[in-house]
Amino acid sequence: MNYTWEVAIKADKNEIERENLKYVPTRNGSPYIEVAFENINARNIEEHTIEVNPLYRFQKIFMNLFDINLEKYKEMREYFFDIFMQYMIQIDLRQGYSKKEYYYKFILKEILNKFYSEQNIEAIKYFNKDEVYLIFCFVIRLYNCGSSLFLFKQIMRNLYKKSIVYASNDYVDEYLIYIGKKETEEERKKINFIIGMFLPINFKIHLFWENHFGIIGINETMEIDSIALF
Question: Any residues with CB less than 8 A from the CB of 48 and at least 6 apart, and which?
Answer: 16, 20, 21, 22
Give pLDDT tens digits for 76-133.
888 899 999 999 988 888 776 677 777 777 877 777 776 566 777 788 888 888 888 8
C-beta separation of 202 from 173 below 8 A: yes
Q: What are the residue ranges spanned by the domains of the chain?
A: 4-94, 99-228
How sure is the predictor about 40, in pLDDT bands with cuts at 50, 70 and 90? low
Q: How many CB atoms lie within 10 A of CB 8?
A: 22
C-beta separation of 222 from 214 below 8 A: yes
Buried-exposed string 136-162: b where 16+ CB fall within 10 A, e elsewhere: bbbbbbbeeeeebeebbbbbbeebbee
Long-range contacts of 97-106 (CB under 8 A, 24+ apart): 100/137, 100/140, 103/136, 103/140, 104/133, 104/136, 104/137, 104/140
Give pLDDT tens digits for 56-79.
888 888 888 887 677 788 888 888
C-beta separation of 88 from 101 below 8 A: no
